[in-house]
Amino acid sequence: MVSFDDFPPVRGVLQEKANLAKKSRFGVGGPAEVLFIPEDMDDLQLFLDNTPPKFPITVLGAMSNVLIRSGGIGGVVIMLGNWFKKTFVEDGILEVGAAVSCSELSTIATDSDLGGFEFLMGLPGSVGGALKMNAGCYDSEISDVLVEFEAVAKNGQIKWFKANELNFRYRDSGIPDDLIITRIWFRGSQNVNYIISKKIHEIMKKRLDSQPLDKKSCGSTFKNPKGKKAWELIHAAGCRGMKLGGAVVSEKHCNFIINTGNATPEDIENLGLKVIDRVRQTSGIVLEWEIIRLGSSVPT
């Protein structure tokens, strides 16, 4: 049984059995045993430095690519609040808190006549989460515009990393899991040879035409295998429209799994596993999850 006497005094939110489903893009998921939303950086550092190591710590952003199983997440879940949504722009450099949304970053860059961030418009996640997974689309990745970032280690120590110190790959930054990204600096392109707002409009039209953005989904379910498109493999395997409980493979974009309204986390995960198995049988390729699956299937 968790006791708040186990944790240091905080100025932010410290909540037991916190509902995570309402924060999830899927709209499902078990609770956090303890949820901590720090008031500011000092609050975060103090909490980390004084929380007993027996409590595992999980960091969540906007939960735009996360599936929480029904049993929820044991230990402490940390989500960054409004203090980590600050933004500054100077001389082509954008300094943003990790809790800023990808779309807001794209808007700030556009308003500052800085190119290179158009692909982020319409991505539902936070900037910190996007950096952690090296999010990208339409031939662009967030690592393309990164200068450096600040993070807090699980012992409360602040660290800084330059872009060239990381090993960026497709959908992977190499950033250690024991770091909490807090601030990021990006460099925008000045005097680009295209109209930024027009490019954003074109990207958003592509998204709306090809993706079920009005449904409960966490976007692309699987990574693209090298030289292949995941959706093409899924389509060829006959999985478009496949259902399990309240979960369905989208007819509009078959690399999206949708909660039709009454899906459980296990419906979504098991449907994904069925798709993996079907694609393996038909193509010999084993798809890798792009969605991060966390927690237990039974109550913690």
Q: Which of 171, 187, 207, 280 is catalytic?
A: 171
126 is catalytic: no
Active site (annotated) includes residue 104: no
Is 207 among the residues known to form the active site?
A: no
Q: Which of 70, 217, 220, 250 is catalytic?
A: 220
Catalytic member of 33, 141, 269, 290: 290
| 273 sits in which H/E element | helix 265-283
Q: What length does the chain have? A: 300
Q: Are 185 and 95 contacting, i.e. CB atoms less than 8 angstroms apart?
A: yes
Q: CA–CA distance from 176 to each of 55, 166, 182, 241 (Å)?
A: 18, 10, 14, 37
- Taking each helix axis as running N to C, give the angle between helix 196-210 and helix 102-111, from 0 to 180 degrees, rounded to the nearest 10: 150
Euclidean distance between CA atoms 181 and 59, whole angstroms: 9
Q: What is the CB-side half-sphere exposure of residue 282 using CA atoms within 13 A?
A: 16
Q: In a 3-state reduction of DSSP, which class is residue 274?
A: helix
The sheet with strand 179-187 has its strands ordered as: 87-90, 93-97, 179-187, 146-153, 158-162
Active site residues: 171, 220, 290
